Amino acid sequence: MSVQIKEIETKKELKDFIYLPERIHKDHVTWVHPIYMDEKVFYDPKKNKSFAFCDAVRLLAYRDGRLVGRCMGIINRRYNEMKNEKAARFSFLETYEDREVVNALIKKVEDWAREKGMTKIAGPHGFTDQDPEGFQIEGFEHRAALVTNHNFDWMPGYIEDLGYTKEVDYFVYKIVVPRELPEFYNKIHDRVVRKGKYTLIEFKKKKEIKPWIIPVLKLMNECYTVSNIYGYTPLNEAEMKDFAGKYMTILDPRFVKVVTAGEEVIGFVVGIPDITEGIKRARGRILPFGIFKILRAQKRTKILQLFIGSIKPEHQGRGVDVLMGVAMIDSAITGGFELMDTHHELESNVKVRGEMVRMGGKLYKKYRIYQKSL
């Protein structure tokens, strides 16, 4: 039977879209369920504010009446206006190992994008760069991390056979938490502290973090925009609050570091203890008891995921990164952590990648966003 593609129209079809991946990946031991409470908000145009500045199409694929795949097409109008582009995105592509299904879904998104006047398509890439992006192309033996795709190894080849080529690559490093910091780090750290220009802010309770959320995310907006971070779309204040609310439950105040110069926030870094084992055990269900499995995993994990961070451009190269890095490592040592996952680092960000290598980091995962002219 040929493949039939259908746009989502009903609540039942949206539910099928959300839960299809766990059927596809049921024997995929390194795959981790999404948190379904968040998924139901994320894919609902009435609840996800990203739909306000994005056009989107949500697709399901059927073969002989059986659901066999899904995909989403996205046009981020805000990003296109900022970059003066006519670019669409494909994302959240999930299928069984079936080339015809992949081809049919991608073709449907391409046709939709052309009808909207787009001249380019890239993916996988969600509404913003806070969503999972890039197909994994190396490190399939390792368990998925938070906010990342974890596709089968055959998927990138299927996409390349459709004429897609590399847009950008992301590197992920694994760093063994050192028992002692390298001497040159200590020297830089001590020099920065002696000069007294910067103040490191650390936290013990979540409520202490709340007044810093908007200043920190405003700094992220500024830094990521100035640095021309691939795919980044500035957040408005309502989106900042949504972003913070989404992660506040799993935020650990020990691993939030903020640096100020006078009254101004000029740097921050956020680490999150790896909770993927708990999410997997809970099968992505928070209620009624899944939250306890996730919180138990948060207490037991030995892996710290470095989630987001930035330093104001005019303060880069002045030891702020070392100030935060030493504090983060000290907290990791005190907490009994053994490994740090650096999350996504753009291939072009050679300065940060070099820093990871100097800290003993080993490349262990790699992701790629593909592109094609329409």
What is the rounded distance in angstroms from the CA atom of residue 180 to the CA atom of residue 26? 41
| 266 close to 260: Cβ distance less than 8 angstroms | yes
| 50 close to 128: Cβ distance less than 8 angstroms | yes
- Whether the pLDDT of residue 284 is over 70: the answer is yes
- Whether the pLDDT of residue 234 is over 90: the answer is no
Please give the pLDDT value at position 136.
97
What is the rounded distance in angstroms from the CA atom of residue 343 to the CA atom of residue 307? 6
- Whether the pLDDT of residue 269 is over 70: the answer is yes
| 68 close to 98: Cβ distance less than 8 angstroms | yes
| 73 close to 56: Cβ distance less than 8 angstroms | yes
- Whether the pLDDT of residue 11 is over 80: the answer is yes
Give 186-246 as a DSSP string. Answer: HHHHHHHHHHT--EEE--SSHHHHGGGHHHHHHHHHHHHHHTT-TT-----HHHHHHHHHH
Please give the pLDDT value at position 279.
95
Task: List phi, psi (to 5°) of 51.
Answer: -65, -20
> What is the rounded average pLDDT of the residues 125-153?
94
pLDDT band at residue 228 under the 50/70/90 scheme: confident
> What is the rounded average pLDDT of the residues 198-202?
95
> What is the rounded average pLDDT of the residues 13-30?
97
> What is the rounded average pLDDT of the residues 109-133?
95
Where does 227-339 have alpha helices with state H? 237-248, 276-282, 290-300, 320-334
What is the rounded distance in angstroms from the CA atom of residue 52 to the CA atom of residue 340? 36
pLDDT band at residue 130 under the 50/70/90 scheme: confident
- Whether the pLDDT of residue 367 is over 90: the answer is yes
Residue 362 tokens read as 């080993």
Give the position of tokens 């670019």: 87
pLDDT band at residue 1 under the 50/70/90 scheme: low
Name the burial class of residue 250, with classes exposed (0-12), middle (13-18) and buried (19+) by CB atoms within 10 angstroms of its CB.
Answer: middle
Q: Map out the domains of the chain with their CATH numbers.
A: 3-168 (3.40.630.30), 178-337 (3.40.630)
Q: Minimal CA–CA distance to 267: which of 209, 228, 215, 232?
A: 215
Buried b (16+ CB within 10 A) or exposed e, 39-74: beebbeeeebebbebbebbbbbbbbeeebbbbbbbb
> What is the rounded average pLDDT of the residues 53-77?
97
Rg of the chain taking only CA atoms, in angstroms: 21
Mark residue 283 as left, alpha or beta (left: phi above 0; alpha: psi -120 to 50; beta: remaining): left
Single pTM value for the model: 0.92
What is the rounded distance in angstroms from the CA atom of residue 277 to the CA atom of residue 143? 9
- For 11-86, list the strands marked E by DSSP: 54-63, 66-76
| 297 close to 277: Cβ distance less than 8 angstroms | yes
Tell me the per-residue pLDDT of 291-331, one tens digit each, with 9 for 90 and over: 999 999 999 999 999 988 999 999 988 999 989 999 999 99
Task: List phi, psi (to 5°) of 321.
Answer: -60, -40
DSSP state of 124: S
> What is the rounded average pLDDT of the residues 23-43?
95
